[in-house]
Amino acid sequence: MSFDVAVLASHTGTNLRALTAAGRRPTSAFGVTLVISNNSGSGALAHARAQGIPCLHLSGRTHPDSDVLDRTMLAALREHGIDLVVTAGYMKKLGPAVLDAYAGRIVNVHPALLPRHGGPGMYGIRVHEAVLASGDTVSGATVHHVTAQYDEGPAIAQQQVPVLPDDTPETLAARVLRVEHRLLPDTVQALARAHAN
Ligand code: GRF
């Protein structure tokens, strides 16, 4: 009984790497069996190819019609028997066909303690700039369910990190990313085990 995970990533894919490494452990209850990126030159696709994981470049360039892109992505998820979709640094909104067919089976990792510092435009270094500007003394990572609105789905797991007085957005981002690399695989493992029971 496998628990097949698709990872959607637009850029480097360090969270993807953490997931593929965790998925290969003997105690793992899941495996990453599909990678989709909207960026043909992404580190995520390069990693998938290097690992021999099926991967797809699906974007507004490959599919200018957003409905066709949405249905093409859903067909690929179904063709690979995907049980859970993980967006990790994925900059595109998912379409209604995927959101509907995979309702309750799509999770995202966000580099802040949602509901703080989330929503449209809050991604990448901007999140950490906002945390520092707010004067918050803690930040962290959130794994949450994905819905039609950015970062509004219920949180599944969170992990705090301190915000240090001399932090820059970059030093805070690095501290949060290290936590993401544990929180995301641990959360996917828990979801896979719950699915098996
Ligand atoms: C992470 O900070 C994640 O929280 C955010 O985008 C970044 C993805 O980084 N959604 P990577 O591509 O996994 O390294």
**Threshold 0.75, pTM exceeds:** yes
Q: Does the pLDDT of residue 44 top 90, yes or no?
A: yes
Each residue of 101-126: pLDDT tens digit? 999 999 999 999 999 999 999 999 99
For position 150, what pLDDT does the model report? 85
- Best residue among 10, 39, 117, 180 to mutate for probing ligand 1's pocket (most ligand atoms within 8 Å of CB) is 180
163-180: average pLDDT: 98
For position 1, what pLDDT does the model report? 64
Do residues 95 and 58 touch, judged by C-beta distance below 8 A? no
* Residue 144 CB–ligand 1 contact under 6 Å: no
Domains of the chain with bracketed CATH: 4-196 (3.40.50.170)
User: Of 47, 110, 117, 181, which one is the catalytic site residue?
Assistant: 110
- Mean predicted lDDT score pLDDT of the chain: 97
In three-state form (DSSP H/G/I as H, E/B as E, the rest C), the secondary structure along 23-73 is HCCCCCCCEEEEEEECCCCCHHHHHHHHHCCCEEECCCCCCCCHHHHHHHH
